[in-house]
Amino acid sequence: MSLHLAAADSKANFVDLTVPGWAWIALLAFIAFLLAFDILVIHRKAHEVHIREAAIESAVWISVGLAFTAVIAIAFGGAAAGEYVSGYLIEKSLSVDNVFVWALILSYFAIPSKYQHRVLFWGIFGALAMRAIFIFAGVALIEKFDWVLYVFGGFLIYTALKLIFSGADEIDPSSSRFLKFVNRLVPSTDQLDGQKLFTRINGHRVATPLFAVLLLVEFTDVLFAVDSVPAVLAVSREQFIVFSSNAFAILGLRALYFLLADAHARFSYLKEGLAIILAFVGVKMIVHKWYHIPTWLSLTVIAIVLVAAIGFSLQSTRTAAEDELPTAPHDDAPSGH
């Protein structure tokens, strides 16, 4: 039986799919398999993830995410595949900032590299559940209250302007009210016990620093989801497409973290690129009643902005490195005879 049951433009110019229940089960089962294989096979033993391993894993996760485009195309058609790729690229690009926040949190708590993957694994697991809630709630709101689109669009433009005109928002874990609340609520210790989130001290069960880090990672993901979910809803209203594009983009974040955590300075134009993407999708939401920006155009704009931001960043880093190179002294003194 073909999945291509109903993939036609809706009144809002987005694909309108009839997705059978077994397709949702298959998607969730595949995601669960990937997570289980990652934690039980690849990262069964705690070890430090080096650049080469992170690069290979990141390439594999990105390949899996992009390969799912073919599944969407075969099942629902090219228009649905275009929406999926647009959503995937938006979520992937906006998630890079999340990676740098993780680096700050893990650095502040001095979590050894070999234990970081386990914390981020459970962080990703929780992020998938929360994104599902955000997505289904967001789609339901849009279907019932069309004016919510203007709110989402305005918020994305506001976030874009804030990214450009405000200074770097440094998150200080030590001043987090959320963390202080957790420490009051849950008996904790400042001692690690391997990869365990909880341990026993003098017969009492207490949380290790890994538990606090995990909760902070989940908390920051909620904050980032407030931006990213409305952004993806600007290019698709189909829950299956929005969730799958979010899920496959998020699954590869751990590998991306180990690849980019120390490279924040090399992406000096990333903030401007993300601001342009947010502003673009915000405008797309606001003008949807008067003009529908085609999916292919959205995909093209997002891809060009990402490539330009990365290109300018790398060029800027290269120029700065060349400027720091010592120059040979010029001997202008006249030669003697």
In DSSP notation, 236-280 reads ---HHHHHHHHHHHHHTHHHHHHHHTT-GGG-TTHHHHHHHHHHH
Q: Rounded to whole angstroms, how far apart are CA atoms 215 and 81? A: 34
Give the residue ranges of DSSP H helices in 45-112.
51-76, 78-108
When mean pLDDT is compared over 12-16, 190-194, 232-236, 258-262, the highest value belongs to 232-236
Q: Are 97 and 274 in contact (CB under 8 A)?
A: yes
pLDDT in tens, 174-186: 555 666 677 777 7
What is the average pLDDT across 244-271? 78
Is the distance from CB of 115 to CB of 192 less than 8 angstroms? Answer: yes
Q: Is the pLDDT of residue 334 over 70?
A: no
- Summarised one tens digit per residue, pLDDT across range 238-255 is 889 999 999 999 888 888
Work out the mean pLDDT of the chain and round it to a whole number: 78
CA distance 177 to 190: 18
Q: Copy the structure tokens of residue 39.
A: 């934690």
CB-based burial of residue 170 (10 Å sphere; 0-12 exposed, 13-18 middle, 19+ buried)? exposed
Per-residue pLDDT, 2: 47
Cα–Cα distance between 262 and 82 in angstroms, integer?
A: 33
Question: Residues 205, 103: contact at Cβ < 8 Å?
Answer: no
C-alpha separations of 223 from 71, 134, 228, 307 in Å: 31, 11, 9, 26
Does residue 46 contact residue 195 with C-beta atoms inside 8 Å?
Answer: yes
The pLDDT value recorded for residue 165 is 78
Q: What is the pLDDT of residues 63-83, one digit of tens each?
A: 999 999 999 999 999 889 999
DSSP per-residue letters across 280-295? HHHHHHHTTTT----H
Which of 307, 259, 240 is CA-nearest to residue 71? 240
Comparing 108 with 199, the larger pLDDT belongs to: 199
- Tracing tokens 């709630």 back to the chain, one arrives at 137
CA distance 231 to 279: 9
330 — pLDDT class (breaks 50, 70, 90): low
C-alpha span between 307 and 287 (Å, rounded): 26
Taking residues 82-104, what's their average pLDDT?
Answer: 82
How far is residue 102's CA from residue 219's CA, in Å, rounded to a whole number? 11
**Predicted local confidence at residue 324, as pLDDT:** 63
pLDDT in tens, 135-168: 888 878 877 777 777 888 888 888 788 877 765 4
To the nearest whole percent, how much of the chain has pLDDT over 90? 13
Residue 133 has pLDDT above 80, yes or no: yes
> How far apart (Å, rounded) are the C-alpha atoms in residues 213 and 219?
10
195 contacts 115 by C-beta, under 8 angstroms: yes
How many whole angstroms separate alpha carbon 23 and alpha carbon 20?
A: 6
13 — pLDDT class (breaks 50, 70, 90): confident
Q: Tell me the pairing of strands 7-9 and 198-201.
A: unpaired
Phi/psi at 17 (nearest 5 deg)? -105, 145
